[in-house]
Amino acid sequence: MSKRAAVDIKNGPSLFILERLSPSDILAPFDCSIREYNDYLIQEAQKAQNEFIAVTWLLHERENGSIVAYMSLINDAIKLTATEKELHHLDYPFRTIPATKIAKLAVSSLYCRQYKGIGTYMLYLAAGIAEDTNLKHSACRFVTVDADIEHDPNVTAFYTKNGFIPNTEMTSKHSKTISMRKDIWV
């Protein structure tokens, strides 16, 4: 078996291009091995984008244009406890703080075998979009995600490795997801 190429913020731009989903994109070959995520991209993402529910971003391999990964981003707000606000040095009178949420994130199974670090690279790109939003349009302090433990019980370790922490206020014991956040202001 050949060694997987590592993807990071230095070489990612030379290997891939991030583009907003367009009606002309051919989505059907994408397969991340989770049917729900495949179906969302192929059947629902364009409609959600057209109706201003979510914006989907496709990571294409520069060499052949194939979809390597995708993420759908939405506006969000999270409630933080006083202790959580202290952790982020937030001297803000309200409990609700603006965020950009990664509503869906999936990496092609084929490209997972070829490259290492695509998911981390997608998180980096999501934070970049959130930071760009801060500069040009509206405010968001955090990138949030509902880590899908139903499909991957170890997914919280991935997000933790990438600087996310659980949201105390937003997590339920019986949920199929764990709400997590990353402070992009620091």
Q: What is the CATH number of the domain that holds 66?
A: 3.40.630.30
> Dihedral of the CA atoms 28, 33, 36, 41 (nearest 10)?
-30
User: What domain count does the chain have?
Assistant: 1
* Torsion over CA: 6, 164, 97, 76 (sign): positive
Do residues 97 and 78 make contact, with C-beta atoms less than 8 angstroms apart? yes
Whether pTM exceeds 0.85: yes
Per residue of the chain (186 residues), what is the pLDDT tens digit?
468 899 999 999 999 999 999 999 999 899 999 999 999 999 999 999 999 999 999 999 999 999 999 999 999 999 999 999 999 999 989 989 999 999 999 999 999 999 999 999 999 999 999 999 999 999 999 999 999 999 999 999 999 999 999 998 666 666 899 999 999 987
Q: Which domain holds residue 139?
A: 5-183
Contacts of 115 (CB under 8 A, 6+ apart): 4, 5, 6, 7, 15, 68
Contacts of 21 (CB under 8 A, 6+ apart): 45, 46, 49, 55, 56, 57, 58, 70
Q: What is the pLDDT of residue 174?
A: 63
Q: What is the 8-class DSSP label of residue 149?
A: T
Q: What is the pLDDT of residue 105?
A: 98
